[in-house]
């Protein structure tokens, strides 16, 4: 597939997906969502990529779903558009590789929702977050009503969604919406350093950790502990477990083979 709204670059074992539609502040229309869907399929299937960074070109990460496109939708078309976006975001969330959102600017509506389906959010000090949908006569539609309360708690999520308030990066850090805030010029280096650190670990163990956290949070604690136990057990069938523990005992750095 030829991409016109996405730039993809690979540095070592880190894949960098940049949404490149700055003239509309990277607003998510069907085309951008379709390209995101395709690039994440491609990245998921590429064994040379261990960690992904998602960012945006220009002054926005993503300023929301495309309001001009959405303005013309009827109820069933709105539902279908919401379902498509939500399915792309869920694919990113479930992908067996960590995804770091490097939030370079506005992350509003669908943009805030896109950042929330990523595993980790690093924000530029210029980033702004919010769910402005009720000011447009709609609810958040790409799973923001579900992920925001899971990340920041029910009360704060309701406040942000009902008031449509836009918050700055420091406030996003304070409420736990982002992991870290850095100066704009340090954003990609910080994201890259974290991505490379993760990529240097046993990839299968990172993959199972993501699966245990994601699945475990959706169930009761006893089932969640059983999910972890199962994945923990599977690690002992990997070469990387033998290498990681062997290297520790031999007092040397491990050489993981990702299997
Ligand atoms: N959709 C379409 N175009 C957009 C969007 C958007 N979300 N955001 C910005 N643009 C366009 C502007 O229209 C403008 O285009 P043009 O130059 O042709 O006039 C261009 O991008 C630049 O934007 P501004 O001139 O407005 O830039 P400013 O720096 O003055 O303002 C803001 C930046 C504050 C980010 C402002 O652009 C803004 O408020 N944007 C809209 C933010 C918003 O409300 N986002 C939420 C959208 S709703 C949503 O995401 C719902 C998700 C679920 C969908 C479910 C489907 C049913």
pTM across the whole model: 0.97
In this prediction, residues 239-252 reach a mean pLDDT of 96
- Please tell me the distance from the alpha carbon of residue 143 to that of residue 146, in angstroms, as a whole number: 5
C-beta 56 within 6 A of ligand 1? no
Distance 175 CA to ligand 1 centre (A): 24
What is residue 211's predicted lDDT score, i.e. its pLDDT? 98
Percent of the chain with pLDDT over 70: 100
Tokens matching residue 224 = 């969640």
In this prediction, residues 58-63 reach a mean pLDDT of 98
List the residue whose alpha carbon is closest to atom 4 of ligand 1. Answer: 24
C-beta 133 within 6 A of ligand 1? yes
Contact 140, 92 (CB under 8 A): no
Contact 129, 188 (CB under 8 A): no
Class of the domain covering 203-249:
mainly alpha
In this prediction, residues 102-128 reach a mean pLDDT of 98
Candidates 31, 133, 185, 228; catalytic one: 133
What is residue 76's predicted lDDT score, i.e. its pLDDT? 95
Domain ranges of the chain: 6-199, 203-249
What is residue 121's predicted lDDT score, i.e. its pLDDT? 98
**pLDDT tens sequence across 208-230:** 999 999 999 999 999 999 999 99
93 part of the active site: no
Contact 35, 1 (CB under 8 A): yes
6-199 and 203-249 share one fold: no
Reply yes or no on whether the pLDDT at 258 is more than 90: no
Reply yes or no on whether the pLDDT at 166 is more than 90: yes
Reply yes or no on whether the pLDDT at 232 is more than 90: yes
What is residue 7's predicted lDDT score, i.e. its pLDDT? 98
Contact 119, 99 (CB under 8 A): yes
**pLDDT tens sequence across 129-150:** 999 999 999 999 999 999 999 9
159 part of the active site: no
Question: Mean pLDDT across the chain, nearest whole number?
Answer: 97
What is residue 220's predicted lDDT score, i.e. its pLDDT? 98
What is residue 2's predicted lDDT score, i.e. its pLDDT? 87
| Chosen CATH of 6-199 out of 3.90.226.10, 3.30.230.10, 3.40.720.10, 3.10.180.10 | 3.90.226.10
Ligand 1 atom with the smallest distance to the CA of 108 is 45
What is residue 1's predicted lDDT score, i.e. its pLDDT? 81
List the residue whose alpha carbon is closest to atom 16 of ligand 1. Answer: 24
Tokens matching residue 116 = 């929330």
List the residue whose alpha carbon is closest to atom 39 of ligand 1. Answer: 63
C-beta 117 within 6 A of ligand 1? no
- Please tell me the distance from the alpha carbon of residue 230 to that of residue 154, in angstroms, as a whole number: 31
Bridge partners (DSSP) of residue 9 are 16
- Of the two residues 194 and 259, the one the predictor is more confident about is 194
Long-range CB contacts for residues 146-153, cutoff 8 Å, separation at least 24? 147/113, 147/116, 147/117, 148/112, 148/116, 148/177, 150/217, 151/116, 151/176, 151/177, 152/176, 152/177
In this prediction, residues 173-185 reach a mean pLDDT of 98
Alpha carbon distances (Å) from 112 to 90, 94, 168, 234 = 14, 18, 12, 34
């Amino acid at each position: 597939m030829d991409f016109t709204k996405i730039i993809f670059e690979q540095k070592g074992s880190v894949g960098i997906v940049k949404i490149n539609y700055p003239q509309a502040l990277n607003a998510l229309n069907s085309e951008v969502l379709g390209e995101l869907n395709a690039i994440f399929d491609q990245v998921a299937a590429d064994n040379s990529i261990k960690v992904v960074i998602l960012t945006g070109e220009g002054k926005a990460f993503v300023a929301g779903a495309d309001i001009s496109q959405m303005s013309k939708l009827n109820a069933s078309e709105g539902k279908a558009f919401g379902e498509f976006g939500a399915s792309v975001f869920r694919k990113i969330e479930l992908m067996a590789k960590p995804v770091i959102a490097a939030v370079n600017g506005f992350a509003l509506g669908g943009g805030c929702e896109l950042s929330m389906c990523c595993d980790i959010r690093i924000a530029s000090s210029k980033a702004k977050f919010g769910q402005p949908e009720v000011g447009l006569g709609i609810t958040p539609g790409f799973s923001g009503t579900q992920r925001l309360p899971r990340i920041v708690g029910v009360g704060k999520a309701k406040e942000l969604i009902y008031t449509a308030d836009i918050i700055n990066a420091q406030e996003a850090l304070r409420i736990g919406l982002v992991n870290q805030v850095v100066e704009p010029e340090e954003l990609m280096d910080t994201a890259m350093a974290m991505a490379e650190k993760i990529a240097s670990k046993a990839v299968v163990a990172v993959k199972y950790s993501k699966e245990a956290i994601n699945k475990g949070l959706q169930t009761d604690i006893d089932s969640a502990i059983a999910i972890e136990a199962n994945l923990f057990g599977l690690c002992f069938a990997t070469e990387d477990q033998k290498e990681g523990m062997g290297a520790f005992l031999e007092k040397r750095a491990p050489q993981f083979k990702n299997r």
